[in-house]
Structure 1
Amino acid sequence: MRDDVLTALLRPLWLIDIFHSMWEAGGTWGVRGHEDSCAIVHHMVQGACVITFEDDSEPVELREGDLAIFPHGTAHSFSAAPGVGTTPLSTLVPSVSPGASGLVRVGTPPYGTRMLCASLYYSPVTDPGLYGELPRVIVLRRPMLEGEPLLLSTLASLPSEIARTAPGSRMVALRAFETIFVLSLRVALERQLMEEAPALRALRHQGISKALMAIHGSYAEPWTVETLARRADMSRSAFSQQFKELVGETPMRHLTARRLQEARRLLSDTTVAQQDIAQRVGYRSQVGFHLAFRKEFDMTPGAFRSQCAPAS
Structure 2
Amino acid sequence: MDVISEVIGTIRAGRPSALRVRQSGTWGMYLPGIEGMGFHVVLKGTGWLITPSGQPVPLNAGDVVLVPHGVEHGLSHTAACTIDGLPDLELPSAHPVTEPAAFDVVLGCYRLERGRIHRFLRELPPVITMSPDYDRHPETRVLIEMLVADVAEDLPGAAVSRSALVDLTLVHALRHARGHTRLGAWPEVTDPGIAAALNEMHTSAQRPWTLGQLSTIAGMSLTAFKRRFTLLVGTPPMTYLTDWRLTHSARVLRETKAPLAAIARQVGYSSEYAFANAFRRKFGIAPGRFRDRMTHEPTRPGRAPVPDAEQV
The 3-state SS of whatever aligns with 2:71 is: coil
Which one-letter code corresponds to 1:6 in the other structure? I
Q: Sort the Cα spacing of 1:188 and 1:230 in 2 relative to 1 into closer, same or farther, 3 A.
A: farther
Matched-pair contact (CA < 8 Å) for 2:189–2:233: no
Q: Sort the Cα spacing of 1:57 and 1:246 in 2 relative to 1 into closer, same or farther, 3 A.
A: farther
TM-score (norm 2): 0.70
Which one-letter code corresponds to 2:228 in the other structure? Q
The 3-state SS of whatever aligns with 2:201 is: helix
Structure 2 distance, partners of 1:290, 1:166, is: 34
Name stretches of at least 5 consecutive residues in structure 1 with no aligned partner: none
Structure 2 distance, partners of 1:292, 1:173, is: 30
Matched-pair contact (CA < 8 Å) for 1:33–1:88: no
Pick one of 129, 133, 138 that aligns with 2:128: 138
Matched-pair contact (CA < 8 Å) for 2:264–2:271: yes
Larger radius of gyration: 1
Q: Which has the higher contact order (CA 8 A, sep 6+)?
A: 2
The alignment's C-alpha RMSD in Å is: 4.1
- Is residue 115 from structure 1 mapped to residue 95 from structure 2 by the alignment? no
Counterpart position of 1:75 = 72
- Is residue 206 from structure 1 mapped to residue 188 from structure 2 by the alignment? no
Pick one of 55, 62, 67 that aligns with 1:65: 62
Cα distance, 1:132 vs structure 2: 4.4
Name stretches of at least 5 consecutive residues in structure 2 with no aligned partner: 297-312
Counterpart position of 2:310 = none
Q: Sort the Cα spacing of 1:169 and 1:250 in 2 relative to 1 into closer, same or farther, 3 A.
A: closer
- Is residue 20 from structure 1 mapped to residue 19 from structure 2 by the alignment? yes
Pick one of 223, 236, 240 that aligns with 1:254: 240
Which one-letter code corresponds to 1:75 in the other structure? E
Cα distance, 1:253 vs structure 2: 1.0
Structure 1 distance, partners of 2:159, 2:255, is: 21
Structure 2 distance, partners of 1:309, 1:156, is: 32
* Percent identity (aligned): 25
Cα distance, 1:123 vs structure 2: 6.2
Higher strand share: 1
Counterpart position of 1:51 = 49
Cα distance, 1:251 vs structure 2: 0.8
Q: How does 1:257-276 map to 2 (within 5 A)?
A: 257-266=243-252, 271-276=257-262
Cα distance, 1:116 vs structure 2: 1.5
Structure 2 distance, partners of 1:18, 1:172, is: 11
Greater Cα shift, 74-83 or 288-297:
288-297
The 3-state SS of whatever aligns with 1:219 is: coil
Which one-letter code corresponds to 2:68 in the other structure? P
Query: What does the per-residue CA deviation read over 1:111-131, in whole Å, with 9 as the maximum and x for residues that have no partner?
Result: 64x232223344648944456
Counterpart position of 2:229 = 243
- Is residue 220 from structure 1 mapped to residue 206 from structure 2 by the alignment? yes
Q: How does 1:141-160 map to 2 (within 5 A)?
A: 141-143=131-133, 145-156=134-145, 158-159=147-148
Structure 1 distance, partners of 2:159, 2:263, is: 31
Structure 2 distance, partners of 1:62, 1:120, is: 19
Pick one of 32, 35, 58 that aligns with 2:33: 35
Matched-pair contact (CA < 8 Å) for 1:34–1:89: no
Which one-letter code corresponds to 1:31 in the other structure? M
Greater Cα shift, 129-138 or 12-21:
129-138
